[in-house]
Structure 1
Amino acid sequence: MVKETFQRETRNGTSQWLGQRFQFKGMTVRALDPAIAAVTDTPLLELNLKNFVVNFTITNLPFRGPMENPDSEVHRNAKTSIEGELTRLYEQSTLKTEFIGCSVEHLSATDWKDQTGVGAVCAFEANSGPRHLDERVVYDIFNNLTNNCSMLGKYTLDHRSLVVNGYPSSVALMTEETGLPFWAIILICLSVLLGFILLFVICCLTNFCKKRRASKYTDQQGIWNTYFPHLDMWNNGGI
């Protein structure tokens, strides 16, 4: 398994390159010496690894065609450089004891030619500390150490592009862009709803008042157009 993993990560022995600078001619995998194994009473601990998919966009790295090919030198150079920046970032963070490593899985084109989308996987040991390790912690550390996702080493970043395991969601991003907390948006919506209700009540009262005035005016007209004979008798008697 160790040998197969090594070969897979070095392009199955075709490129014979380890990273960007080291070239090798062969490899051997040696099991633990029986004499050493006999005196080792404590078994090796299995690491409880948690992988986080970290996506972001670099704004000063133009995407070129060769970047699509993992075997190209352009892709390897960009991959190695970005992985180095990610490693430095998390090794300087409060997660340095849990951090295992980051691997850039793909580079992609964006809507802008001078930008490159990055998809990386960062691994951490989940059982090495008392705190809960989740995507929000990984996101916050990346965001804080890159000055609100603006600078990763020599790379400038799109501050809206950072997503770790789907966090934050599109709804949360929309809330963040408005600059208002979630409770404030709820209060605004309730205020607008109450405003519509109040407007509806005022309209109903206005219509009711208009109808009542029209009814009184009709009643008054009916009174003045009615003939009262006793008034004529009173007038004749007065004459």
Structure 2
Amino acid sequence: MKNGPTRKRGDSAKFVYQHLRESIICLELAPGELLDEASLSSRFLMSRSPIREALIRLSMEGLVHTLPNKNSVVAPLGLDTLPDYLDALELIQRLVTRLAAQFRTEDDLEFMRAKQIEFRNALAQADFALMIDSNREFHMAISKAARNKYFDFLYSRLLDDGKRMLYLYFNSFFEGVPDSVADEHDLIIDAIENKDADRAETLAKAHAIDVATKFLNYLNDRHSTDFDIRVKPRDGQS
């Protein structure tokens, strides 16, 4: 991060939040790294109050953990529980997509398509941070159509917890993220529009498994002297 970045007056907490969030998601700030309020205050040239507000907001997204001594650190990636996370994400994604096909309205479809356009625009710009946010918004548009606030809450948290994993997934495409990633979204929208719940669920499952498989393969091929991020594939995956 650069020292003393430009910001608008009265928008300090939001600026710090956005800056730290992008640095965490893009792994510029490593898992477990200390986020000292005094150091951040000096870096951003502002008081501790907006720094603290930004850290609280990041902790609500699961990107920052507050320690018993009140210090904050970048949340770990949680690779030890990765198989459980991927199972939960796949199941909830299948469920909300199936329900969306059953209960969607024309307004829901319009909202999904708008979010899909945003994702394609981010894809065209090869902007990983924007792709992660627009991907989340697309899937949450589907979740809203499912009409279940409990599933919506759970799906939202799972997507937030997986933001850094999704960054690594996008980064695994060494020649750029292919359009096929967005094409899968279009197929899901078509199934939801046709109220074909079985096909919608099948596509959602395939989409989740494809992301999980590529991500696991990326981790297993990755070598780092800083920390070991290699994990074993789940049963049935290579």
TM-score (norm 2): 0.27
Larger strand percent: 1
More helix, by proportion: 2
